[in-house]
Amino acid sequence: MSVTAENKYYTLEEISRHDGKQDTRVWIIIKDIVYDVTDYLDEHPGGGELITEWAGKDATKEFDDFGHSLDAKKDLKKYHIGEVVEEQRKKKTKTDNKKLITVPKNQKMLDSSNFRYRKSCISIITCGILA
């Protein structure tokens, strides 16, 4: 585990040991954030078994698929203990999602006065309505 002044970072191996069996604590990962939910197991409306099924693992998909309320998401913050180390995260960073678009030199850049060639959703909808 590495520590900064603001947060603790855990490897997937470290997190997996907190499965309620190898260790008495139960940790889960949701969106690359690590939560120690041990003290919440008895309070979970669906029963602690639903959480322990994902103990020591990434439960993001299951958490999102269930459609938890905003209150549930706020309550989860109380159990936040750290994050997954950067190199093992599933979530892409903002720079991973950026794509470069190159325009060939001989292609003319379009301006707003020539809207029928623009490819935004608004232009397509507007052109469809006006056409």
pLDDT at 14: 97
Instruction: Give the number of other CB atoms < 10 A from CB of residue 14.
Output: 17
pLDDT at 115: 42
Could you say which DSSP state residue 127 is in?
H
State pTM to two decimals: 0.65
Alpha-carbon gap, residue 41 to 51, rounded angstroms: 7
Beta bridge partners of residue 58, listed in sequence order: 29
Tell me: pLDDT of 58 over 90. yes
Residues in the chain: 131
Quick one: average pLDDT of 18-25?
Answer: 93
Q: Which residue, among 12, 26, 28, 16, has the nearest Cα to 89 in the 3D structure?
A: 12
